[in-house]
Chains A and B, each alone.
Chain A
Amino acid sequence: MLDPAHGGTDPGARGSAGIREADIVLELTAQVRHGLESQGFQVLQTRSGNENPSFDDRSALANAQTGAIFVSLHVSSTGLSGTVRVYTMADMPLPSTTGGLIPWDQAQASYLPLSRKLGDTVQGELTQRFKGSPMNVQSAYVRQLRTTAAPAIAVELSSVAMEDKADLDRMLPGVADAIVRGIVTFRPSYVTPGMPGNAPGAKP
């Protein structure tokens, strides 16, 4: 599940040169999607155009899938230009499940170990391509990740403050390739209790 953040009336981060986060992440989503589909993954998007589904609607799309991986795409206002950071949700207490149901607000909690593994794998690929990026995944209280019941990461490029949009555009193929390679590497380790040996996200 690819999640181009913001959209509609919410442009996300905006640069002085007119760069809008909502537009860049949609372009990046198309490139990641192409790469994942060429690897045999079935890809869904939380939005395909200039609309802005709620955080819960986006999570609901992912939570309705079996064996999904959730990647939320962002462009920051800050940070060293030309670097990329991967975030997982910060520590959450494990929810007390009632009748096998997970509280919506804590949906990410039991997936955090898998999210960190995915995040480290993708961050490793990104750091090889974009010098100055962190070596390991970071943790943050990302609203979108909290309600997502799947291995989930947010990938954030720096930044909309670039003076020329072409510089940001040049980053996109490398970022997309790193995400795809990270997911391909992560895939064998993604085995949930309900589906031993399955390759989640792959087409049947």
Chain B
Amino acid sequence: MNSQWRLGIAIGLVVAVLAAAIYFPILKRRVKKQAQVQQKSEEQARLELVQSLNAATNEPKVKAQLFWAADAEYSDLVANTVELPLSNDPVLRSKQVLNTLLAGPVDSELRTLPPDAALLAFYILPDGTAVADFSDAMANSIPSGVQSEQFAVDSITRTLEANVPQVRRLRILIHGQAVETLAGHLDLTGTFPVSTKPVPPASAPAGVPATK
């Protein structure tokens, strides 16, 4: 190998090292920024919870029904009556009851949804199909199994049925994506039935006004 070749290779190596030195901090910043965006979206969801609950503080309190496990063995789901200031708007009302469901019961053994899961988005299509988008923790932190996954979905659909009559069926997304199963068992490719009862007039949402 002549000296010109050696010089060329040496220059090439120096250029490569310099390029790496310049690009590495940029790459590091991009990765950090991406992580912050993801964290922010979950933070936004939590902030929305607080805002949605605050937004409804002027609303009269109603007796909402939330469904958690009857016991630590998951023998059944039971309705728990909780007084909440719920909005009359079906989307906001759905977010309020689902966020309360996610917050969980006092006894953590009775919870049906992972404590670190967050509702990222919720909307209702004109035909009554609701779409609930949960954070990754909904799929990653839930105990795997037919029973536990079905309990999780049942607790969501029965809570919506009891409090938001406009919701007819539910589609669940995980972090904005359609996924095949919740945690290896339960089918998330379709919709879950919520209610087939007639929708009451807009001025009469579900929930019994709480007596003071």
Contacts and interface: CB of A to CB of B under 8 A. Distances in A.
A and B together in one complex: yes
Interface of A: 5-6, 10, 12-14, 21, 55, 74-80, 85, 87, 91, 105, 138, 140-144, 146, 154, 156, 158-159
Enumerate the 3 nearest inter-chain pairs by beta-carbon distance, A residue then B residue, closest first: A77-B143, A76-B145, A143-B187
Interface string B133-148: 0000000000111111
13 contacts: A21-B144, A74-B185, A75-B145, A76-B143, A76-B148, A78-B148, A105-B190, A138-B150, A140-B149, A141-B186, A142-B186, A143-B186, A143-B189
A141 B151 CA distance: 11
B123 interface: no
Contacts of A76: 143-148
A55 B148 CA distance: 20
Contacts of A80: 73, 75
Contacts of A144: 185
B73 A141 contact: no
Nearest to A87: B146
Contacts of A146: 187
A13 B144 contact: yes
Contact of A142 (B143, B146, B189, B193): B146
Interface residues on B, range: 20 to 34
Contacts of B148: 76-78
Q: Is the interface of A mostly helix, strand, loop or mixed?
A: mixed
A85 B75 CA distance: 11
B146 A154 contact: yes
A140 B186 contact: yes
B145 A156 contact: yes
A78 B147 CA distance: 7
B187 A13 contact: no
Interface string B176-210: 00001100111101101100000000000000000
Given A140-B146, A154-B146, 17 more contacts: A5-B184, A12-B144, A75-B145, A76-B145, A76-B147, A76-B148, A77-B143, A78-B147, A79-B147, A80-B75, A85-B146, A140-B147, A140-B150, A141-B190, A143-B181, A143-B189, A146-B187
Contacts of A10: 184
A13 B185 CA distance: 10
Contacts of B193: 91
Nearest to B181: A143
Nearest to B142: A77
Contacts of A12: 144, 184
B184 A6 contact: yes
B18 to A, nearest CB: 40
Interface in B145-171: 145-151, 153
Contacts of B122: none
A74 B146 contact: yes
B74 A79 contact: yes
Contacts of A85: 146-147
A159 B186 contact: no
Q: Which has the most chain A C-beta neighbours within 10 Å: B73, B149, B150, B187?
A: B187
B44 to A, nearest CB: 30
A159 B147 CA distance: 11
A78 B145 contact: yes
Given A13-B144, A77-B143, A77-B148, A142 B73 contact: no
A143 B185 contact: yes
Given A79-B73, A80-B73, A141 B144 contact: no
Contacts of B181: 143
A55 B179 CA distance: 13
